Amino acid sequence: MTSEAVLSRTTKAAASPDFVFWAAALVLAGLVVLASVAPILPMPSYSAMSTARLASPNPAHWFGTDQFGRDLLVRVLFGLRTSLWIGALGVTASTVLGTAVGLIAGYTGGWLDTVCMRALDSLLAFPSLLLAIGVAAILGPGAVSTALALGIVGVPQMARIVRAGTLSESQMQYVEAARSVGTKTGSILLRHILPNVLHLISVQMVMFFVVAVLTEASLSFLGLGIQVPVPSLGSMLKEARDYVGTAPWFVVAPGAALTLSVLALNIFADGLRTHAGSRS
């Protein structure tokens, strides 16, 4: 039976945004691979000085050299490695802590919830960089304190998100059902609620990773983060400031690496959030 008319026309499929997402994912994967294999690449050590100071990019040094003659390509790769590594530590710490607080506060409610959330709100009142500087100043500079600072900075936001998800899941009848069959509170939180808020957690993890990388770079730029001789993109930028006019590649190399990572991460996080949103 043929129809006389089609009452609604098919809408044009919008330009697929997926391409950009997958491109970003690819770039990200590439950066991670590069950062991972950096130590075993057949390249000079990142602290190996040479006489070719501030050399522009040439076949011997693809990215050029810094003021001590150190190969910039190696330093950028190791700097990337540092950023990603510290960022990951910070994200892990804040996720574990934030999730725990969010689950407990959201499920228990009452004064415990109020106390926790108000305490975290006061942390949130500080711009993340300021907070990180504060923590780093108290703990002293270095990799460990940087990771710790990042961890603390990330807890309030993660806790809020997990708490919101927990609040809404707690209204579902399966939570009541679990209580009625005798499941204990801890099991309810970990085995019932947590699996259903994982999609929120994973998106927030990636989004905070962006903040973590940038914050670490900022701390190192200010001299509070990763210390010499371990290279960090931030500290490289700090050193490069003096040579912007004379050796622009010195700024471009770490700057481009940082920009590329953050851009790819942002696009990836955005895509994840859309995907997670449409799935539920």
Partner 1 sequence: MTPLLRVTDLAVEFPVRSPILRRRMGQIHAVRGVSFELHKGETLALVGESGSGKSTVARAIARLTTAAQGRLEFDGVDLLELSGAELRRARRNIQTIFQNPYSSLNRAWRVDDVIAEPLAAYGVGTVAERRDSVAALLARVGLSPEMGRRRPAGLSGGQRQRVGIARAIALRPQLVICDEATSALDVSVQAQILNLLVELREEFALSYLFITHDLGVVRRLAERVAVMHAGLIVETAPTRALFGQALHPYSDALLAAAPNLVNVAGGGISRTRVSGSPPSPLSTPPGCLFADRCSYALPGCRERAPALATQPDGRLVACHRVQNGIAKWRDSTPLRNLPAPTSLPALRTSRT
Partner 2 sequence: MNAAARTAVPYFDMRGLSVFYRSRGSLVRIVDRVSFSVAEGQALGIVGESGSGKSTLALAAAGLLRPEEALIEADQMTLGGTDLLRMSDATRARIQGRRIGFVFQNPHTALNPLLTIGRQLTDHVRWHMGLSQADAEARAVTLLGEVGIGDIRRRMQSYPHEFSGGMLQRVTIAMALACDPELLIADEPTTALDASVQADIVDLVTRLRQDRRLTLIWITHDLALLQHVVDRVAVMYAGQLSEMGATDAVYSAPAHPYTKALLSSVRSLWRDEEGKFEVIPGAPPTPGRLPTGCAFQPRCPLVRSRCIQTPPLLPVDPQHDGEHLAACWAVNGTYAQ
Residues found near partner 2 in the complex (CB under 8 A): 1, 3-11
184 binds, among partner 1, partner 2, none (CB under 5 to 8 A by kind): partner 1
Residue 121, CB-side half-sphere exposure with 13 Å CA sphere: 6
Contact in structure between 268 and 21 (CB atoms under 8 Å):
yes
Q: By CB under 8 A, tell whether 190 contacts partner 1.
A: no
Cis peptide before 229 (omega within 30 of 0): yes
Among 42, 59, 182, 245, indicate the residue that binds partner 1 (CB under 8 A).
182
Contact in structure between 162 and 99 (CB atoms under 8 Å):
yes
* Segment contacting partner 1 by CB under 8 A, of 53-61, 124-132, 174-182, 262-270: 174-182
Residue the block writes with tokens 């602290």: 47
Q: By CB under 8 A, tell whether 200 contacts partner 1.
A: no
Q: By CB under 8 A, tell whether 108 contacts partner 1.
A: no
* Segment contacting partner 1 by CB under 8 A, of 25-33, 87-95, 157-165, 166-174: 166-174
Contact in structure between 178 and 230 (CB atoms under 8 Å):
no
What distance in Å separates the CA atoms of residue 259 and residue 89, rounded to the nearest whole number? 20
Smallest distance, Å, CB 195 to partner 1? 4
Q: By CB under 8 A, tell whether 196 contacts partner 1.
A: yes
Contact in structure between 234 and 226 (CB atoms under 8 Å):
yes
8 binds, among partner 1, partner 2, none (CB under 5 to 8 A by kind): partner 2
Smallest distance, Å, CB 224 to partner 1? 40
Contact in structure between 80 and 273 (CB atoms under 8 Å):
no
Q: By CB under 8 A, tell whether 181 contacts partner 1.
A: yes
What distance in Å separates the CA atoms of residue 158 and residue 189, rounded to the nearest whole number? 16
Q: Kindly tell me which of 144 and 177 has the beta carbon lying closer to partner 1.
A: 177
Q: By CB under 8 A, tell whether 174 contacts partner 1.
A: yes
Question: How many other CB atoms are there within 10 angstroms of residue 29's CB atom?
Answer: 12
Residue 85, CB-side half-sphere exposure with 13 Å CA sphere: 18
Q: By CB under 8 A, tell whether 277 contacts partner 1.
A: no
Q: Kindly tell me which of 28 and 178 has the beta carbon lying closer to partner 1.
A: 178
Q: Kindly tell me which of 148 and 197 has the beta carbon lying closer to partner 1.
A: 197
* Segment contacting partner 1 by CB under 8 A, of 4-12, 83-91, 179-187, 236-244: 179-187
Smallest distance, Å, CB 4 to partner 1? 34
Which amino acid appears at position 195 of this protein?
P
Polymer length of the chain = 280
Smallest distance, Å, CB 275 to partner 2? 13
Smallest distance, Å, CB 185 to partner 1? 12
Which candidate, 98, 199, 219, places its Cα nearest to that of 149? 219
- Residue 214 CA, chain-centre distance (Å), reads 8
Q: Kindly tell me which of 5 and 15 has the beta carbon lying closer to partner 2.
A: 5
What distance in Å separates the CA atoms of residue 134 and residue 224, rounded to the nearest whole number? 10
Which amino acid appears at position 13 of this protein?
A
Chain residues that interact with partner 1, rule: CB under 8 A: 172-174, 176-184, 187, 192, 195-196
